[in-house]
Chain A
């Protein structure tokens, strides 16, 4: 088995909840960008980023959509940060049955952020470009990951047989059987 070291680019959005002013421009430009044709309509309900906000409690948390979760979490907790109480869901990126964000309003299908993947590619996702408050900052992080070269299935099988019968026996058998075919 081969083990190789590789660098991989991880695309992320760094979110500063203290800087968010709750304008929801990120929702507008996200839904417009993902409309077909591009920019032809706006509907924050289709956005893959939502500002979870409770203005009078001074809560503003921009969250962008992550993986779909088939079931809701058990025992959703509450966190108090700087004296403000947040529901655990405020920070969660999942499209899940417990809430109505990150679902296509027509079909109910889950939505997921694609970092505005397009050709030609953008310098930054549109939500970041439209966030003049810098609550959203795009970051590309290089991560070194171990890439293990996985053996093919047949190799695993052959290796096991060679261990039992020896290589010569396998080659002979393979030659005889292919002739019989």
Chain B
């Protein structure tokens, strides 16, 4: 009987922990927004962060974009040729990219690269008491550390997503037309006919949503590294970073479904 009670108590504790974390993250996000009204001189920081997230991720995005497009070209060709519809390859590639793969894969790539780095950076500041130092200097850490990163993400994510899409379309062209002999006119024509503004909006909405979610989660995990346990060590930063990447990635995929079902 006792072990059954313990089991339920454990589930209860876990669930309460999840709620507590969600609540605290919500407050964290609101505090960050508050920094818009009381900015502690952050314009140069935004630019620096755009460079960090955007510019530094460029090569990875182009690379993965190209190969994603190429694989779509490959898979699409073999799926469509069964019904003699290779001409539709262009639409298949572009819609898959713009609606789904572009925003999702871009977000996942950036999470792995910039998200984890941000989490670690802020986490190290936490364990070295630097965040406490900011507060005691009357500089709000949310406005100073988190907000510039958030704004930089809101600018970088959609831009990188578009780059991913464009490179992907060319990748699909290279494989479909260049390698497998699809008619180039049919390829571009398919794109022209099937791509609508709604698809592009969907891609933008998703990339903005992913930007907010992933950056909030990553910076939140770093900000509270070790705080609940009261310890201030390197293991806490490592744990926070892993958690940030996993949670961000899962959130991207779940919210992808939610947004898609709302907008389709």
A and B are partners in one complex rather than unrelated chains: no
- Interface of A with B (CB < 8 Å)? none
- Interface of B with A (CB < 8 Å)? none
